[in-house]
A and B are shown apart, each in its own frame.
Chain A
Amino acid sequence: MRILVLFAHPALEKSRVHKRLLAAVDGIAGVTVHDLYESFPDGDIDIGHEQSLLEANDLIIQQHPFYWYSTPPLLKQWHDLVLEHGWAYGAEGRKLDGKYMLSAISTGGGPDAYLRGGYNYFTIRELLAPIEQTARLCRMNYLAPYVIYGTHRMDEPAIDAAAAGYRRLVQGLAGDRIDLGAAAKAESLNDVVG
């Protein structure tokens, strides 16, 4: 599968985790990394360019920190502007038909925080429901997210491990070695890559 990593981080220069994640998937054959904040620092998104990128790929990975249970603002704006009616959805909008989408996100809290009774009350998949439904409306297949938990307390070896896991996942997806049916049903893809 050709993969587009749609990456959004408003302050990557301060990030410890996402720099490593990006480096981990950089250069894998069939994978295009697209850095939204670097491409559109003033928020003026080139819609035509983005749509042609989407058309050229089969799987869209939205990689970003999970700020306030959502995407960074530029990625939200990207959804609003790029996924146009008549192109991405609606009676005539079939350009994304049958493609796949997943989220690769980092959270400050650990796995225990994303449980009923936990600090954040909802599970990650529940919190990602708006993204899942966005994909559905565009007739895309939504896969479970890859989540890097507890970034606030992560030490270097843990970050290395997370980056290596992300790399295995993307390599597996690019080489069509991952059971997509199972990946759609899982709670997260973390287990898939160990």
Chain B
Amino acid sequence: MSFLEQAFIYLAAAVVMVPVAKRLGLGSVIGYLIAGIVIGPFGLGFIGGTAEVGGDDIMHVAEFGVVMMLFVVGLELEPERLWRLRSPILGMGGAQVVGTALLVTATVAALGIDWRAATVIGMALSMSSTAIVLQSLSERSLLRTSGGQSAFSVLLFQDIAVIPMLAIIPLLATHGAPGSSDSSHATSWVAGMPGWAQTLAVIGAVAAVGIGGRFVVRPAFRAIARTRLRELFTAAALLLVVGTALLMTRVGLSPALGTFLAGVVLATSEFRHELQGDIEPFKGLLLGLFFIAVGSTIDFAYLASHPLLIAGLVLGIIALKAIVLFAIGYAFRLSRDQRMLFTVALPQVGEFAFVLLAFAAQAGVIGGDVSRPLIATVALTMALAPLLFVLNERVLQPWLGQCAETGPHRPSDAQDDGSPVLIAGFGSFGSTVGRFLRASGIRTTVLDVDSDRVDALRSMGMEVYYGDATRLELLHTAGAERARVLVLALDSPERTLELVRLAREHFPHLVIMARAFEWDDSHELLDVGVTHVYREALDASVRMGSDVLGVLGFRAHQAHRAGQKFRKHDEESIRALTARRGDRREYVGAVRRRMAALEELMQIDSASRNLDADSGWDSQTLREEIRRRPTLG
């Protein structure tokens, strides 16, 4: 098959299957895996046939996606963020990875598998799927809850833990490993050296990346940025990743490790976002390719002949990981429902497991007989991950909520009170609205997904319901029938729209007042007919602009009036843009869309009336008339 034919098949499979999987709420990783299954030897049979990870040309290209993924992971590891989260990362993350890995390793070794392979399996299975978990949490606006933050910290620790794991695996390898010889990677400089010399070479290469990244790469990027040739910057970014990967393979190390380090070194540089933006599309595509390849190697013949083994493995792994997570949640004093969220968020095995298993297979630490069931198992746990979230949402949380509701310390449902205002979302935005209304003597009922916050607010005597405001029952419970205003202060534009639709359908009498984030979602809210739209940054940024005028020496009142006028002008402009926006929003990316909106707004700005147009306080026309006809004055 020619390269173009192969590319066509892979791309077609991805383009068809990924949207379907996303539509089904399964996420893109599962979509790629399914695409791989469909075109693989057990589906349509377009590709593969070797049923061995790493057996195919495309696979080698695809593995580079993992390399790029680690580069981007490294870029995202801002030191300050790590420092801020150091105790949950080290505490919860460390406990999760070490605990799970030890338990799995012990179990596997007890089953009679070689301890080296057992170690690899333990490490691989301790990983969770960053892609799936972050996606699922942010889709549900749960990232900022304490359970969500804990999950995020654990994922960060796993990201970092991959690096030592990748370094350990070659040390576990027995010499003359099969797979390393047929690898397409460049020949190693250190092949044949004893283990300690290899380790020394590894340390040297790591140091080279660290020092080079700081003292060579940054000045080079500065010079390249000055050429203002975008494609050259992209080329340089790719060169950096490819070069680092090459260096690492030469010293017999994982290229992923090297690029990860390069990413970390550059995480504090001014080019961080630029690099991320340049590498991201390549990473996404190649990683997709990687997952397709993994999907195509899922051995269905094996699955069909060992259904009980696989089912047992899947359930066993999820159960074991869940128990570890639950214990950690308990030890770190997460409240009951947050502990539950934390537990259901992370028990799947993640994409790093594929990487580690493929790497270990290449190094000859594990054989096909071990990796075959494991890869299928890992893929299945990932497929189940979104279902666990649904289970948590539909069954576990309502059940916990009921338990809590009947507890002696909770106030009973005040069905009769009838607050005129419902506030959905009590983060910084919603809480300010709520405090203001409360100070103005208006009773409000709050719906929030952060149970810690709910508890705190309740103890202050506020009417707060825990739960997802986009659930109809909760709106009923909170008294949406009797309320007059629904304040939407959720953290995500998607959920805001969802709730608008729900409220429109079931509580048409409610006046909906919605927080918006960007021009984009303001447009969408206006499109669906919400008239009270509040772009969250608008007032503060205009106020700041007006204060800048003040610092520059403008009269306070002039600056104030200019700010007032600009705010109104901006809101009118948004409405005008909404009217003529049409359908192109489907076709261009969010960034391009924002730029286009900004451009149009600035055109409207320059065409519109002067902000300084209070002519009544100083009428030029009056002065001119008096000069012409002196009798007037």
Contact = CB atoms under 8 A, between A and B. Distances in A.
A119 B633 contact: yes
Contact of A11 (B614, B631, B632): B614
A13 B556 CA distance: 10
Contact of B557 (A10, A150, A152): A10
A113 B556 contact: no
Given A11-B558, A119-B632, A150-B633, A108 B626 contact: yes
A38 B623 contact: no
A15 B619 CA distance: 11
Interface in A7-32: 9-15
A113 B633 CA distance: 6
Given A41-B559, A153-B627, A15 B618 contact: yes
A153 B558 contact: no
B558 A152 contact: no
Nearest to A149: B633
B617 interface: yes
A41 B557 contact: yes
Query: Which of B555, B557, B558, B627 has the most A CB atoms < 10 Å from its CB?
Result: B557
Query: Which of B555, B623, B626, B627 has the most A CB atoms < 10 Å from its CB?
Result: B555
Contacts of B232: none
A11 B633 contact: no
A37 interface: yes
B617 A10 contact: yes
A41 B616 CA distance: 17
Nearest to B558: A13
Contacts of B630: 153
A38 B633 contact: no
A42 interface: yes
Contacts of A110: 633
A43 B410 CA distance: 45
Nearest to A8: B557
A172 interface: no
Interface in B595-633: 614, 616-618, 622-623, 626-627, 630-633
B555 A152 contact: no
Contacts of A42: 560
B322 to A, nearest CB: 55
Query: Which of A41, A108, A113 has the most B CB atoms < 10 Å from its CB?
Result: A41
A144 to B, nearest CB: 22
B115 interface: no
Contacts of A13: 554-555, 558
Interface string B178-194: 00000000000000000
A98 interface: no
Interface in B534-569: 554-561
Nearest to B630: A153
A178 to B, nearest CB: 29
Identify whether the interface residues of B are mostly helix, strand, loop, or mixed.
helix
A105 to B, nearest CB: 14
A38 B555 contact: yes
Contacts of A119: 631-633
Contacts of A153: 626-627, 630, 633
Nearest to B625: A152
Interface string A114-129: 0000010000000000
B441 to A, nearest CB: 19
A67 interface: yes
Contact of A67 (B556, B559, B560, B617): B617
A153 B622 CA distance: 11
A67 B618 CA distance: 10
Contacts of B561: 41
B617 A14 contact: yes
A152 B622 CA distance: 8
A12 B556 CA distance: 10
Nearest to A150: B633
Given A42-B560, A152-B622, A12 B633 contact: no
B564 to A, nearest CB: 9
Interface string B555-596: 111111100000000000000000000000000000000000
A109 interface: yes
Nearest to A65: B617
A41 B560 contact: yes
Interface in A134-172: 150, 152-153
B557 A108 contact: no
Contacts of A152: 622-623, 626-627, 633
Contacts of B623: 152
Contacts of A38: 555-557
Contacts of B633: 108-110, 113, 119, 150, 152-153
A75 to B, nearest CB: 13
A150 B630 CA distance: 10
Nearest to A39: B556
A11 B617 contact: yes
Interface string A87-122: 000000000000000000000111001000001000
Contact of B614 (A10, A12, A108): A10
Contact of A37 (B555, B622, B627, B632): B555
A72 B632 CA distance: 22
A72 B614 CA distance: 13
Interface in A57-79: 65, 67, 72
A12 B618 CA distance: 9
Given A11-B555, A11-B617, 18 more contacts: A10-B617, A11-B557, A12-B555, A13-B558, A37-B555, A38-B555, A38-B556, A38-B557, A41-B557, A67-B616, A67-B617, A108-B622, A108-B633, A109-B633, A110-B633, A119-B631, A152-B627, A153-B627
21 contacts: A10-B557, A11-B557, A11-B558, A11-B614, A11-B618, A15-B618, A37-B556, A37-B557, A41-B555, A41-B556, A41-B559, A41-B560, A72-B617, A108-B633, A109-B632, A113-B633, A152-B622, A152-B627, A152-B633, A153-B626, A153-B627
Return the 4 tightest CB-CB contacts between A and B, nearest first: A41-B560, A41-B556, A37-B557, A109-B633
Interface of B: 554-561, 614, 616-618, 622-623, 626-627, 630-633
